[in-house]
Structure 1
Amino acid sequence: MGFENHNKRAWVQRVMEVDASNLEVPLSAISSNTTAATFLASISLTLSSLIGAWMTNNNIFQSDFIYGDVKPSTLMLKYISLLICFLLGFSCFVQSTRCFIHANYLISMPFKDMPVYYVEVGVIRGGEFWQLGLRALYFALVMLLWFFGPIPMFLSSMFMVALLYYLDSNSTPLHLYQAFSKKGCDTNVSNVGVRCYV
């Protein structure tokens, strides 16, 4: 998350330096994030409502093929754990949508006389809530496999730890973004020519 936040800070700083006529790409990027967060929030809410249908039909997970404790109190604990994961994911995705919409308003402000820090906070918090919502859905998958016994839950937990270690570890050094100045000249990256700003 720190690696992504570093890149988002640089992205926001560059976005806030461009003219208001060139904001279509940044606003469409934030709009895509907002749409994805809204979609996952609706999926989380739908899945949490399906748990109520499961709770009324407890015979599904009380067969002889299920290894482990199938007492009603244990099943209720499993349902509540799964419901908490989905509701936590829903609330995180809703907060992510709220932060991205707020950043969208700040970026599209006509004269941009506010500090860049406000936009950075909106974009970074939106991304962090997005990551927390995804983590809640990952843990909901583990809780779902708990219904089939402790062995599937243990195996999925081990797989989830390995997956999250792969997703959250980073050995790439942070890129040191240089300040972008609209005055002066700088060499083009492709070495085709020199780009000057006045």
Structure 2
Amino acid sequence: MEWRKCYLDMILIPLGFLITISYHVWLWYKVRTQPLTTIIGLNMTGRRLWVSAILEDIDKKNILAVQTLRNNLMGSTLMATTSILLCTGLAAVISSTYSAKKPLNDTIYGAHGEIMVALKYATVLTIFLFSFFCNTLSIRLINQLSILICSPLEPSSILTSEYICELLEKGSVLDIVGNRLFYTALPLLLWIFGPVLVFLSWVAMVSVLYNMDFLCANSCVQGNGKQTREGISG
């Protein structure tokens, strides 16, 4: 009888996790091997070009650099604040009486026992905490970068443009990881109402992320063809 109550949780939740993790492993592989086919890889190249352009004329572009980094800080701060607020709310629910943590309807598919309910809240809370941790690390690195990017670069100095690019890359990667953890935890909030909604939400989220992470094949072909024609005409 207990198996009949929790078999959907034991099948759909790990399967949803596997789909999400497999997609991000494949995305990481594409970023490493074919970076220009993904938005993340293209943005990485653009950030390096941005740092080089800013450092070449830092006296005129220092305000632009600080404002751009401030916008990144605002985004990471928003995600970190949202994550810790959700953690606080979940902690308040976990510490309340069990009647407050019961599903709204006992006919919802999935297990409703105390152990399973505690597992649901603990899993969501853990992922949100890791999202908060990654976003706060991103804020720390970008704060350092906003100071160092306006510092004078001397030939004998330890501070180099490569180090500044590395700081920006680490901060951006941590921001991406924090956001992806947040996106993964959001469907888990629906686990309170059953595993079916969680699985469907994860499948929908992967399809949305795919359209956002990868460049359209036609646009890539057109862009490569345009560059080729320009090279020939030049």
Letter in 1 for 2:153: K
Residue 57 of structure 1: how far off its partner (Å): 3.8
Instruction: Provide Cα deviations, 1:116-166, integer angstroms capped at 9, x if missing partner.
Output: 111111111111111111111111111101111011111101101111211
Q: Which one has the bigger helix percentage?
A: 2
Specify the alignment match of 1:49 in structure 2: 88
TM-score by length of 2: 0.69
Instruction: Return the alpha-carbon distance in structure 2 between the equivalents of residues 164 and 57 of structure 1.
Output: 37
**Cα gap change, 1:115 to 1:151, in 2 (>3 Å):** same
Q: SS where residue 23 of structure 1 aligns? A: helix
Instruction: Return the alpha-carbon distance in structure 2 between the equivalents of residues 6 and 40 of structure 1.
Output: 24
Residue 65 of structure 1: how far off its partner (Å): 4.3
Instruction: Provide Cα deviations, 1:18-75, integer angstroms capped at 9, x if missing partner.
Output: 1324310111100111122122212211110111111124324344243210011111
Specify the alignment match of 1:17 in structure 2: 56
Q: SS where residue 16 of structure 1 aligns? A: helix
Q: 2:161 aligned to 91, 116, 121, which one?
A: 116
Mean alpha-carbon deviation: is it higher for 116-125 or for 14-23?
14-23
TM-score by length of 1: 0.81
Letter in 2 for 1:61: K
RCO higher in 1 or 2 (8 Å CA, sep ≥ 6)?
2
**Cα gap change, 1:155 to 1:39, in 2 (>3 Å):** same
Q: How many residues align?
A: 174
Q: Is the 8 A contact 2:58 2:150 kept in 1?
A: no
Q: SS where residue 67 of structure 1 aligns? A: coil
Instruction: Return the alpha-carbon distance in structure 2 between the equivalents of residues 89 and 2 of structure 1.
Output: 21
Letter in 1 for 2:59: A
Specify the alignment match of 1:186 in structure 2: none
For residues 48-197 of structure 1, the aligned pairs below 5 Å read 48-55=87-94, 56-59=96-99, 60-62=101-103, 63-109=105-151, 111-113=152-154, 114-171=159-216, 173=220
Q: Is the 8 A contact 2:69 2:142 kept in 1?
A: yes
Identity, % of aligned positions: 28
Instruction: Return the alpha-carbon distance in structure 2 between the equivalents of residues 135 and 19 of structure 1.
Output: 33
CA RMSD of aligned residues (A): 1.8
Unaligned runs of 5+ in 2: 1-39, 225-234
Instruction: Provide Cα deviations, 1:66-107, integer angstroms capped at 9, x if missing partner.
Output: 321001111111111101111011001101101111111111
Q: Which one has the bigger strand percentage?
A: 1
Q: SS where residue 205 of structure 2 aligns? A: helix
Instruction: Return the alpha-carbon distance in structure 2 between the equivalents of residues 123 and 74 of structure 1.
Output: 41
Instruction: Return the alpha-carbon distance in structure 2 between the equivalents of residues 168 and 116 of structure 1.
Output: 28
Letter in 2 for 1:18: D
Instruction: Return the alpha-carbon distance in structure 1 between the equivalents of residues 77 and 201 of structure 2.
Output: 27
**Cα gap change, 1:61 to 1:166, in 2 (>3 Å):** farther
